[in-house]
Chain A
Amino acid sequence: MTVAVFFGCTFIAFGPAVALFVFTIARDPLRVIFLIAGAFFWLVSLLLSSLVWFITVQISNKNSATQQTGLLIFGVVLSVLLQEAFRYGYYRLLKKANEGLLALSQEDTMPISIRQLAYVSGLGFGFMSGAFSVVNILSDSLGPGTVGIHGDSQHYFISSAFMTLAIILLHMFWGVVFFESCERQRWWGLGAVVISHLVVSCVSFVNPHYQGSLIPTYIILSVMAAWAYLCAGGSLRNLKLCLTCKDKDFLLANHRPR
């Protein structure tokens, strides 16, 4: 039964993200490289925030429960802010790298647009964040037992998997919106991304009332999805044409000469 839980939760958490990777990123080596670099940036931000948290825990009073909870909230907020800071740092790095790439390449156009970079880096952040969220939980789900012997809710594994799915997709959408806001100098967009990230992270303190944390997260996910779609140049008309396969521009543009 528990191997089933392990595979089920893995596929729930990583399924859509891996599908996106396979269909849109895997063929282009440049995109893969930027995805992995994005993942690495997220990892460094996690390293810094965990260093700060570790030090503060060591110097704190370990017996006081309120202090520990306060420290946890502080840790979460700090981590969110650091992640967004590193996203901004990655944006600056990519801008500089793009200029360099243009100088090196033999064609006149940029090999990869900033919008594609936004999508790829967001997904990279998402993969690494999802891995760190859920891999420990998955390894515990492999044993013969499930959560609940001390009265905790049994839905721990599956709600963790759904939460991770939401986080991965959210990182991707945040990446798109963030880079677009930076390009257009729309600072309120940046602020919205940071605030929605903080809201999603802090709402997880409501657990184990999983409805309380998952529902707001998915609402924010759909809002961000729509916003990212609009940022990427989509509109309702495009959507209708795409779904009924009548968009000639799209078909022509994607018709590659052999």
Chain B
Amino acid sequence: MLKGLMFLCVLCSSVEQKIYVVLNETVPCVRLLNATHQIGCQSSISGDTGVLHVLETESDLDWILSSGPHPPYMVIMETAFFNRSVMMRMKNSSRVAGVAVIISKTGLADNFSPHTTCPNQNTGVYSESYGSDLANCNGTVWNPLGNGLSYEDFSFPVFALKDENQTQVLRKCYEDHNQRVNGSAPQYPLCAMQLFSHMHAVTDTVTCMRRTDLQNRFSINPEVLCDPLSDFNVWTSTRPLNNSAKGHAADESVVIAATRLDGRSFFWEQAPAAEGTVSGIVTLLATIQALYPVTQEAPPPRNIFFSFFQGEAFDYIGSSKMVYDMEKNDFVIDMNNVHSMLEIGQVGLRSGQRLWMHSDPVSRQNKSVDTEVSEEEGKLSLFSHALSRSQPLPPSSFQRFLRARRIPGLVLADHNTSFTNRYYESMYDDAENLNVTYPPGLTPDEQLVYETDAAKSLAEVATLVARSLYLQAGGEEKNLNNITADPKIVAQLLYGFLVQKNNSWFRSLLPPEVTKKGVNSILSPGPPQFYIGLGPRVHGPAHSVTRFVQYILANLTGTVTNLTESQCQNPSELSTENKDVNQTIPQCIVTSLFNILI
């Protein structure tokens, strides 16, 4: 009897130790709700139990679904079988008590994307009233390899087995007790597994909020049934903006440069999101690093506003919040201040040094918008190709801005029609997918500064973006040669975001009270996960990725001051002060950098 638990069993009696083996390194798939539906997986309140069976061949599938004599079965699924057809057959069968998927690279197909074929199709800009022939991916299917598994509703628990040793324990138990001998069925006692992942939330968000409300009002010990997905956006600008003055900012014309901060996969809190998200973050951070010194020496007429949006995988949480605040005059700028927008999409897998600029054909039917966009394209045309006027925008934050106002803008990507990312929003979109590999025998500190080809490629993209942003903001061409992204910083960023977040550079950026927290410190080993998470109430002040981006930005854009530690902790009038600790001397840095709760 094997138990896959979400929490550790600390004080088991010795009899329990003779009966159960507790599995620790497991990751569940959780239930998610939106206004109308529920997706994800759920177990019954006291767990689901089933006889173990390892799914390696087609005959195993028949055994589980029809011929095996001891239903319900708990399926240990080899990587190759984790696809739509098998999972839908499991969903429709009553003989499956749960699934544990082995996550490994052996046996992995050459593409796997559990996301839908048309990401965020109902919350983008294309609808019946706007570009109806382009809505619902009628024009271009962006993620044709998507099997939509993340958006199905399973009534049994699905867990991911990430630890090879634990998988070996399961296999051994199966081989010792459950294997068929010469085609005849095995006899009791059999090896079985129990999975616990009970979810309190059901049906949809409306129902859940109503029930939580009832609990809060009438129950002595109210139980929270669901938590909202929430976190922070991060933004900064080349010229400081007064954060306390909301609404239209006088005499400000702003070019927005944006990218997304999050990703997702089928399982809870697993989202390496290398090509999908990290390529964009690293490029934008390198752009800021390249652009900032020049904008301080020779400031362009327009302000450049850099924004990192969180929660874009879930119907554009971050960007829709910013647009909403802008429209309600609850933000430092509003839509009238926005001159144009440049968004960085997936830019990591360029084939042949090419980038593509995507624009919105419907808004370009307006002559003035069209001219602006063509001008913007012209500034970027050194490396990239414009696209045909009939192709819609890929899923991007820019679509939410278009819903509010038809501003000129472009989305930069490494794909022409459909994504080059074959593992979009899955657990396999990791460093290897982005071709970030290090030669063997390097120490962690050497790996931190080793410039891979991917680092050099992203540094080129960042240089291009920085120069075109400068031109777009009205800067002069003679300053362009001073704008170059540093491949070393790009290499460090890639190492920190893809391989190991507990490295010497990140540690030097974070203040001591953040790094000191012990077991749940944000500097735990391994790469960071880009899932949006449940926000301040559950996870502490901010999610680790948001924190990292915030402190990296502080390091790249801030100026060192002479304040002492205690003076630094108290916020000043104009801007927040971020304390930055390098290895020898703690320093206090002043930046104009903000987090917006979404």
> Residues of A with Cβ closer than 8 Å to B?
136-137, 140, 143-150, 152, 154, 156
Contacts and interface: CB of A to CB of B under 8 A. Distances in A.
Nearest to B48: A144
Interface string B4-22: 0000000001011011110
Given A149-B1, A149-B2, A143 B189 contact: no
A145 B2 CA distance: 9
Contacts of B399: none
Nearest to A140: B15
Given A140-B13, A144-B1, A145-B1, A154 B189 contact: yes
A147 B18 contact: yes
Given A140-B19, A143-B19, A149 B191 contact: yes
Interface residues of B, number: 15
A144 B173 CA distance: 16
A198 to B, nearest CB: 24
B238 interface: no
Interface in B1-43: 1-2, 13, 15-16, 18-21
B355 interface: no
B1 A146 contact: yes
Contacts of A152: 18
B194 interface: yes
B49 interface: yes
A144 B18 contact: no
A146 B15 contact: no
Contacts of B19: 140, 143, 145-149
9 contacts: A136-B15, A140-B13, A143-B19, A144-B1, A145-B194, A146-B19, A148-B18, A148-B19, A149-B191
A148 to B, nearest CB: 5
B431 interface: no
A150 B49 contact: no
Q: Sorted from nearest, which 10 A-B pairs have the closest CB atoms?
A: A145-B1, A144-B49, A140-B15, A145-B19, A147-B18, A152-B18, A147-B19, A148-B189, A140-B16, A145-B20
Nearest to B3: A145
A154 to B, nearest CB: 6
A139 B259 CA distance: 55
Contacts of A137: 15
A149 B13 contact: no
A149 B194 contact: no
A149 B21 contact: yes
Contacts of B194: 144-145
B13 A136 contact: yes
Interface string B57-92: 000000000000000000000000000000000000
B393 interface: no
B357 interface: no
Interface centre among A143, A144, A150, by most B CB within 10 Å? Answer: A144
Interface of B: 1-2, 13, 15-16, 18-21, 49, 173, 189, 191-192, 194
A144 B2 CA distance: 10
Interface of B is mostly: mixed
Nearest to B47: A144
Nearest to A160: B15
B284 to A, nearest CB: 51
Contacts of A148: 18-19, 189
B98 to A, nearest CB: 13
Contacts of B49: 144
A153 to B, nearest CB: 10
Given A144-B192, A154-B189, A149 B20 contact: yes
Nearest to A143: B19
Given A143-B1, A145-B192, 5 more contacts: A140-B13, A140-B15, A147-B19, A148-B19, A156-B18
Nearest to B169: A149
Contacts of B21: 149
Contacts of B13: 136, 140
Contacts of B173: 149
Contacts of B2: 149
B15 A149 contact: no
Contacts of A144: 1, 49, 192, 194
Interface centre among A140, A145, A148, A152, by most B CB within 10 Å? Answer: A145
Contacts of B191: 149
Nearest to A154: B189
Nearest to B191: A149
A150 B49 CA distance: 19
Nearest to B16: A140
A60 B250 CA distance: 79
A222 B1 CA distance: 38
B13 to A, nearest CB: 6
A154 B18 CA distance: 10
B474 to A, nearest CB: 70
Contacts of A156: 15, 18
Contacts of B1: 143-146, 149
Contacts of B16: 140
A137 B189 CA distance: 19
A137 to B, nearest CB: 6
Contacts of A146: 1, 19, 189
A158 to B, nearest CB: 13
A143 to B, nearest CB: 7
A149 B2 CA distance: 9
A148 B173 CA distance: 11
Contacts of B15: 136-137, 140, 147, 156
Nearest to A148: B189
A146 B191 CA distance: 10
A143 B19 CA distance: 9
A138 to B, nearest CB: 10
A136 B19 CA distance: 13
Given A140-B13, A144-B1, A150 B192 contact: no
Contacts of B192: 144-145
A135 to B, nearest CB: 11
A148 B2 CA distance: 11
A163 to B, nearest CB: 14
Nearest to B12: A140
Nearest to B17: A150
A144 B195 CA distance: 12
A143 B192 CA distance: 12
A168 B7 CA distance: 39
Interface centre among B1, B15, B20, by most A CB within 10 Å? Answer: B15
Nearest to B194: A144
A140 B15 CA distance: 7
Nearest to A146: B189
Contacts of A147: 15, 18-19
A161 to B, nearest CB: 14
Contacts of A149: 1-2, 18-21, 173, 191
Nearest to A1: B188
B193 to A, nearest CB: 10
B359 to A, nearest CB: 59
B19 to A, nearest CB: 5
A136 B173 CA distance: 26
